[in-house]
Structure 1
Amino acid sequence: MAASVALQLSASSFVVPGQLTLRTIHGRNGPFNVGRLVTAVGKFAVKDAELEQYPEGKYNGEFVIRYIDAKAYPTCDGMRFEIRASLDGMTLSGTDKLSKAEARAFATQEIDPLDEDLAAHPVTPAATPEPESAPVRASTDPLIDTRPFGVDAPAATATASGSPDSDDAALFGLLWPLGESVKLDSTIDRRTLRVQIARLGTLGYALDFKSQQWNRQPDQQAA
């Protein structure tokens, strides 16, 4: 489990120019991003949920640093320490691909931030629901109605559960129905955010890293 000591630099966030390098790693929970931010005030690891959306690469821009953490977590050969910056936002102006050397510079055993989130906020098992009374059964004879007075018959036109639209509505919540542009909320739980990102790609959206929103691509058919 990672240890953390918050080092609050100031009462408010501060903005610094720099370069953010993102590396996509394939772990047991699927692909995840880890980042390194190089600025005039220091070099920091970055693992904010916001970065889950971005393709691997190098991004130049200005970064709003909220606070800095000293992190330590176990690895197979001991402990690893890193100085991590938590971001309040960023304005990106350019991007470039990683070289092989830059990709290899990242640790071979990066911790998935999702595992850190789950360790910090374990899921509490749901309470056992109270037993419900047995449902009222109607006669199979279409000429005999055995339902008690006041109990309506199920609507024949009810929407079937499990349809793609109903699944997407549950996944995206207040963002549904999706428009031509979609701005994801990175403050939701990281697992749901990853599913939203994958689904947007399937639905024909692509991320515009400068506007930090997903735009529907022309001539793309939703899956």
Structure 2
Amino acid sequence: MALTTAHSSTSPIIVGGQLTLRTIRGRNGPFTVGRLTTHLGVFEVKDAELEQYPEGKYDGEFLIKYIYPRAYPTGGGMRFEIRASLDGMTLSGLDELSRDDAKSFAAQEVDPLDEELGTQPAASPGTTFQPVDVAVHASADPLIDTTPFGMDTPSAAIAAAGGSDSDDAALFGLLWPLEDSIKLDSTIDRRTLRAQIARLGELGYALDFKTQEWSRQAELQPA
């Protein structure tokens, strides 16, 4: 069982640093994990927001909401890490991920979707932290339904099959009809967010990491 004790302060802190993102293909499809390097230390980041960004090394300023230890079983043992939860970020540069950067991540990274669908431990006594909305991911395979019992989320088949306007309307909700530039809400459940990202790619959108907005690729090309 994974153990979590989270700590939050009355005001998040802003730090400069570099966020290294690695995309890993798991049983639920691709997922993204991150490592934030700052003068305060090095922290693992598993926020849903990261799902939108391709792997690479991003320079910028990061708003850290809280920092907490995490332990979970993997590969016949236990893995311990210190995680940071971000409340926002401003990215200013991007470098490609080197082979050494990719190898620096654990060989058996756990998909955040699997963590969120598993049994979550209670916070330690005295902890005042209240977790943000739990997010859930859509499986890339429409035959694999990872929706928790009783949770009403769009079908993964919407993104996988290139659905109709009504399917897209159900998937994107208040964002539909889509404008030329849109910003996704990463606080929705992770399953729906992953489905939205996949569908945007099919519809010809691309992410501008500096503005953190998705735009139709034609809009990104010079006139």
TM (norm. structure 1) is: 0.79
Q: How many residues align?
A: 184
Q: CA deviation at 1:219?
A: 8.4
Letter in 1 for 2:148: V
Structure-2 change in CA distance of 1:108 and 1:170 (3 Å): same
Q: CA deviation at 1:7?
A: 2.5
Counterpart mapping for 1:40-189 below 5 A:
40-119=39-118, 120=120, 123-125=148-150, 164-189=164-189
Counterpart in the other structure of 1:155 = none
> How far, CA to CA, are the matches of 1:163 and 1:43 in structure 2?
41
> How far, CA to CA, are the matches of 1:172 and 1:163 in structure 2?
12
Counterpart in the other structure of 1:211 = 211
Preserved contact between residue 22 and residue 58 of structure 1 (Cα < 8 Å): yes
> How far, CA to CA, are the matches of 1:168 and 1:115 in structure 2?
25
> How far, CA to CA, are the matches of 1:62 and 1:112 in structure 2?
25
User: How far does the alpha carbon of each residue in 1:144-186 deviate from its partner, in whole angstroms, 9 at most, with x for none?
Assistant: xxxxxxxxxxxxxxxxxx9610110000000000000010000
> How far, CA to CA, are the matches of 1:219 and 1:190 in structure 2?
27
User: How far does the alpha carbon of each residue in 1:102-129 deviate from its partner, in whole angstroms, 9 at most, with x for none?
Assistant: 1011001001001111123782348xxx
Preserved contact between residue 7 and residue 70 of structure 1 (Cα < 8 Å): no
Structure-2 change in CA distance of 1:206 and 1:61 (3 Å): same
> How far, CA to CA, are the matches of 1:182 and 1:163 in structure 2?
19
**Equivalent position SS for 2:109:** coil
**Equivalent position SS for 1:195:** helix
**Quick check: 163-172 or 56-65, which moved more?**
163-172
Letter in 1 for 2:179: G
> How far, CA to CA, are the matches of 1:109 and 1:201 in structure 2?
27
Counterpart in the other structure of 1:26 = 25
Preserved contact between residue 38 and residue 44 of structure 1 (Cα < 8 Å): yes
Relative contact order (alpha carbons < 8 A, sep ≥ 6): 1 or 2 greater? 2
Q: Computing the radius of gyration over CA atoms, which structure comes out larger, 1 or 2?
A: 1
Which 5+ residue runs of structure 2 have no aligned equivalent? Answer: 121-133, 135-146, 152-161
TM (norm. structure 2) is: 0.79
> How far, CA to CA, are the matches of 2:114 and 2:37 in structure 1?
25
Structure-2 change in CA distance of 1:123 and 1:93 (3 Å): same
Structure-2 change in CA distance of 1:219 and 1:37 (3 Å): closer
Preserved contact between residue 66 and residue 87 of structure 1 (Cα < 8 Å): yes
Preserved contact between residue 204 and residue 216 of structure 1 (Cα < 8 Å): yes
> How far, CA to CA, are the matches of 2:219 and 2:66 in structure 1?
43
> How far, CA to CA, are the matches of 2:97 and 2:14 in structure 1?
25
In angstroms, what is the RMSD of aligned CA positions? 1.8
Letter in 2 for 1:182: I
Counterpart in the other structure of 2:35 = 36
> How far, CA to CA, are the matches of 1:124 and 1:219 in structure 2?
40
